[in-house]
A and B are shown apart, each in its own frame.
Chain A
């Protein structure tokens, strides 16, 4: 079945997000020992955000020329269901970060622990869960478009 404007929009956004943030988090992993979130780390994040914005704008301009932007009640319901799943994903991430910080605080000084609460790690953990929540939203939408809402 031919994809609707919304499906094409979501698919493009999902691919852009996976590529750009995949590249960004690969760089984060290479610098995982870094303490502060500043300098080149901040620069990489700015580049990633700008890249996503530019790709999204260009892609949606091209998409709008090729097909009329349309959205009806089915698109809205699917989007709301996707936001619900994304909320749970981001909520789980928020609890994970809080547990991480609390556990690190409780175990501070214990020689056997290597837990760290460095700004670089915390900023990227929060960002990772934001990106994951967005991915969950996009994937949920595509699943509902494919399988139906029954």
Chain B
């Protein structure tokens, strides 16, 4: 089985949307600004529901916001 981690493009997507602030994104998604910061910094993987809400705010498919990267082999 392979191990991996979830990466995201939220920072770039915010920048592309007229530099949307983390606070504005947090309010649209319904989470705290600290949670948006944690997600952007790869310190927290959100639930599927929040992930879909983020993708909906940007108007893009989920895969454009989040990617699963295989990093290492796990015995």
Spell out A's residues near B (CB within 8 Å): 1-7, 70-75, 145, 147-150
In chain B, what residue has the closest Cβ to A146? B43
User: Least Cβ distance of B5 to chain A in Å?
Assistant: 7
**B32–A70 CB distance below 8 A:** yes
**B45–A73 CB distance below 8 A:** no
Q: What is the bound-complex CA distance between A2 and B31, given in angstroms?
A: 16
Which B residues are CB-close (under 8 A) to A150?
A: 5, 42-45
Q: Please pick, from A2, A7, A149, the residue contacting B45 in the complex, using a CB distance under 8 A.
A: A149
Q: What is the bound-complex CA distance between A99 and B21, given in angstroms?
A: 56
Which B residues are CB-close (under 8 A) to A73?
A: 31, 35, 46-47, 50
In chain B, what residue has the closest Cβ to A145? B34
Closest 4 CB pairs of A and B: A148-B43, A4-B34, A72-B31, A74-B35
In this complex, how many residues of chain B approach chain A with their Cβ under 8 Å: the count is: 17
**A4–B32 CB distance below 8 A:** yes
Known contacts being A4-B32, A150-B5, is A74 close to B37, with CB within 8 Å?
A: no
**A74–B41 CB distance below 8 A:** no
Q: What is the bound-complex CA distance between A3 and B34, given in angstroms?
A: 8
Max count, chain A CB within 10 A of own CB: residue among B30, B33, B44: B44
In chain B, what residue has the closest Cβ to A72? B31
Q: B42-70, CB under 8 A of A: which get 1 and which 0?
A: 11111100100000000000000000000
* B38 interface contact, C-beta 8 A: yes
Q: What is the bound-complex CA distance between A108 and B33, given in angstroms?
A: 60
User: Least Cβ distance of B53 to chain A in Å?
Assistant: 11
Q: Please pick, from B5, B38, B42, the residue contacting A74 in the complex, using a CB distance under 8 A.
A: B38
Q: What is the bound-complex CA distance between A34 and B38, given in angstroms?
A: 50
A-B contact pairs, 6 of them (CB 8 A): A1-B37, A74-B34, A75-B35, A148-B43, A149-B43, A149-B45
